[in-house]
Amino acid sequence: MLKQSQLDLCGRVDFTREVPLLGRDEGFSFACAGCGDCCRGREDIVLSGFDLWRIAARLRLPPRTVARAFCKASIGVVSRLPVLRLAPVREEGNNCPFLTHSRCAIHDAEPLVCALYPLAQEITKEGSVSYFLQPTSCGGQVISAKVGDYLARYDIPAREATDVRWAQVCMALEDRVEALEAVFEPVFIRRVQQKLWQALYYRYDFAAPFLPQLEENLRGLDAELEKLSALQKRRNVRFRESIEKTDK
């Protein structure tokens, strides 16, 4: 079964889930040695704009500063959207940049991927949310819990509406950007990418609520994309006119 919400996680084009989805009243168990190995050697911790905003608020730094200091930025091969990953620190054993003495320095603002672990999340275009258990091999103490209780322990329900909105925005933008890239010249594609970075990740005040800022940014993004589309159309018209004059 294909994971419907997958957006370039780990740089993969496809993602196949081979384990069943879990209801919130269902139980699961996993072993944890408390060693912090799940924070080492990882280049697949993808941040949402909300994740970046939370870390920025925790560190009291602008989101762009946090991204430059602790993340690796790219454009998704599949989605063509901005992708921001935590960048391991090579000099410290390829660890997460926030891992200190096997503990998370930003635990109260950790990314959703980390808060959910070893669970993972699926979000559909319709907004339904499901969870499944990722494979682990750490060993150690066996922890058993109901899905709903585990999520509540890490305050996942409180942020779920924002995470759903983020996922739906990205899925809608993926379709829109694909259509624009089919007709835009490279210079306009680069401008689109710049506008996306600003709207999704950087144009935020960490002291103000995230979701209203996202909605405001999306309205601005829509206007900017319309302007770029109009510019491209005018360039196309001028190009056709110049060809017609040459033919004459």
**What is the reported pLDDT for 54?**
98
**Confidence band, pLDDT 50/70/90 cuts, at residue 240:** confident
Among 62, 58, 60, 87, which residue's Cα sits nearest to residue 72? 87
Say what percent of the chain tops pLDDT 70: 91
**What is the reported pLDDT for 7?**
36
Cα–Cα distance for residue pair 112/167, rounded to 1 Å: 12
pTM of the model: 0.88
Higher per-residue confidence, 4 vs 173: 173
pLDDT tens digit sequence for 25-78:
999 998 888 777 788 888 889 999 999 999 999 999 999 999 999 999 999 988
Helices (H), 186-209: 186-197
Among 158, 168, 181, 183, which residue's Cα sits nearest to residue 218? 168
The dihedral built from the CA positions of residue 83, 167, 132 and 27, taken in this order, carries a sign that is positive
Is residue 60 within a helix (H) or strand (E), and if so which, with residue range?
A: none
pLDDT tens digit sequence for 158-195:
999 999 999 999 999 999 999 999 999 999 999 999 99
Cα–Cα distance for residue pair 113/46, rounded to 1 Å: 7
Cα–Cα distance for residue pair 59/171, rounded to 1 Å: 29
Higher per-residue confidence, 89 vs 245: 89
Burial class (CB in 10 A: 0-12, 13-18, 19+), 193: middle
Contacts for 218 with CB less than 8 Å, ≥ 6 apart: 169, 199
pLDDT greater than 70 at residue 21:
yes
pLDDT greater than 90 at residue 204:
yes
pLDDT greater than 50 at residue 9:
no
**What is the reported pLDDT for 140?**
82
Helices (H), 60-155: 63-70, 112-116, 147-153
**Contact of 53 with 63, CB cutoff 8 Å:** yes
pLDDT tens digit sequence for 118-136:
999 989 889 999 999 988 7
The dihedral built from the CA positions of residue 207, 208, 211 and 217, taken in this order, carries a sign that is negative
pLDDT tens digit sequence for 80-105:
999 999 999 987 678 899 998 878 99
pLDDT greater than 80 at residue 154:
yes
Token representation of residue 214: 């996202």
